[in-house]
Amino acid sequence: MDDAARADTFYAHVSGGGKVEPDDWMPDDYRAAVLKFVEMHANSELMGVLPEREWILRAPTLRRKLALTSKVQDEVGHAQLLYRVAEDLGKSREQMLQDLIAGKTKFHNVFHYPTRSWADVGIIAWLVDAAAIVSQQALRDSSYAPYARTMKKICWEESVHIMHGRDVVLTLMNGTDAQRASVQDALDRWWGPLMQMHGPPTNPETDRDLIWKIKAKGNEQLRQEFLSIYVPRIRELGLVIPDPALAYDDEAGRWAYTEPDWDELRSVVTGHGPKSQERLEFRRDARATTQWVRDAIIGPVGTAAA
Partner 1 sequence: MRDKAGPHDRVWEVFRQEAEGDPMIHGGSVKAPDEELATHYAREFYGRRQESQRLWIVPRDAITELDDPDLLKPPFDRSFKRPGGFLIKHKLEAARERAGSPQVDEVAE
Could you list the residues that contact partner 1 (CB under 8 A)?
21, 23, 77, 80-81, 84, 87-88, 90, 93, 146, 149-150, 153, 157, 297-299, 304-306
Q: Which is nearer to partner 1, 143 or 150 (CB)?
A: 150
Q: How far is the CB of 84 from partner 1 (least distance, A)?
A: 6
Residues 30 and 10: beta-carbon distance below 8 Å: yes
Nearest CA-CA partner of 151 in 225, 196, 228, 215: 215
Q: How far is the CB of 181 from partner 1 (least distance, A)?
A: 35
Q: How far is the CB of 156 from partner 1 (least distance, A)?
A: 8
> Which helix (H) or strand (E) element contains residue 108?
none
Q: How far apart are CA 132 and CA 198, in angstroms?
A: 8
Backbone angles phi, psi at 237, to 5 degrees: -90, 0
Q: How far is the CB of 303 from partner 1 (least distance, A)?
A: 8
Q: How far is the CB of 6 from partner 1 (least distance, A)?
A: 16
Q: How far is the CB of 305 from partner 1 (least distance, A)?
A: 4
Q: Which is nearer to partner 1, 211 or 298 (CB)?
A: 298
Q: Which is nearer to partner 1, 24 or 278 (CB)?
A: 24
**Quick one: how far is CA 145 from the chain centroid?**
19
Q: How far is the CB of 241 from partner 1 (least distance, A)?
A: 34
Strands (DSSP E) found in the chain: 247-249, 254-256
Give me the helix-helix angle, 129-139 and 219-235, nearest 10°.
Answer: 140
Q: Which is nearer to partner 1, 57 or 297 (CB)?
A: 297
Q: How far apart are CA 43 and CA 32, in angstroms?
A: 16
Nearest CA-CA partner of 168 in 294, 14, 63, 16: 63
Q: If you compute the radius of gyration of the chain from its CA atoms, what whole number of angstroms results?
A: 20
C-alpha triplet 88, 106, 203: angle, nearest 5° = 90
Q: How far is the CB of 160 from partner 1 (least distance, A)?
A: 9
C-alpha triplet 228, 162, 123: angle, nearest 5° = 80
3-state DSSP helix/strand/coil percent for the chain, to nearest 5? 65, 5, 30
- 180, with CB counted inside 10 A (0-12, 13-18, 19+), is middle
